[in-house]
Amino acid sequence: MAGSVTVVAGPSGVGKGTLIRRVLASDTDLWLSVSATTRAPRPGEVDGVDYVFLSAEDFDNLREAGGFLEWAEFAGNCYGTPAAPVTDRISRGVDVILEIDLQGVRQVRANLPAARTVFISPPSIDALGSRLASRGTEDPAAIERRLAAAQDELAAAGEFDCVIVNDDVEVAANQLLAWVHKPANEH
């Protein structure tokens, strides 16, 4: 039987990474797709693990060759999901998770109608603001920009098969895992 594809999206700071790490730790048979990007690696990021880091030219060549399941430009850099590793895993029955932005979700929905789309929502915009502030990685202006973007993303939540409110991390991670394992005819 083919593996499932679960696409996870949601605003910056909502805790998608934490939830996905929990889900991967509790089910080691799942596979998280490694995206390609033209963005420079951040300190500590490992090529092939966090992202496949490509030059703009290599990214364009791969895109023109039809090598991406989806791709998008975000904040001046390109990001894409290499198609072959995903289709190879699905055909071997492995369940796959993609963590991508809203533009990418729309393409996956068109290219892979069986994919399940999950939106991770903050309990409230205020909670998201506090989270971004306590993370300490953004200055107040950047937090404002991210919160404005979050409003747009929240407005798109209705497009998704499922919305998970990340209030209690353990509850939310269990909901995500249940969705990944849901039989294909039930979503």
Residue pair 166/118 in contact by the 8 Å Cβ criterion: no
Does residue 121 touch ligand 5GP according to CB under 6 A? no
**Residue among 4, 6, 38, 81 that touches ligand 5GP (CB under 6 A):** 81
| Strand-by-strand arrangement of the 68-74 sheet | 52-53, 36-37, 77-82, 68-74
Number of residues engaging ligand 5GP in binding (CB under 6 A): 13
Task: Name 7's bridge partners.
Answer: 98, 117
Q: Closer to ligand 5GP at the Cβ: 7 or 183?
A: 7
Q: Closer to ligand 5GP at the Cβ: 14 or 177?
A: 14
Does residue 70 touch ligand 5GP according to CB under 6 A? yes
Output the six-digit token pair for 187.
């979503």
Residues 6 or more apart whose Cβ sits within 8 Å of residue 89: 3, 31, 96
Does residue 38 touch ligand 5GP according to CB under 6 A? no
CA distance 11 to 157: 10
**Residue among 20, 97, 100, 177 that touches ligand 5GP (CB under 6 A):** 100
Residue pair 182/99 in contact by the 8 Å Cβ criterion: no
Does residue 118 touch ligand 5GP according to CB under 6 A? no
Does residue 54 touch ligand 5GP according to CB under 6 A? no
Min. distance of Cβ 32 from ligand 5GP in angstroms?
11
CA distance 171 to 152: 25
**Residue among 6, 35, 117, 121 that touches ligand 5GP (CB under 6 A):** 35
* DSSP for residue 62: H
Q: Closer to ligand 5GP at the Cβ: 91 or 137?
A: 137
User: Applying CB under 6 A, which residues contact ligand 5GP?
Assistant: 35, 39, 70, 72, 74, 79-81, 99-101, 103-104
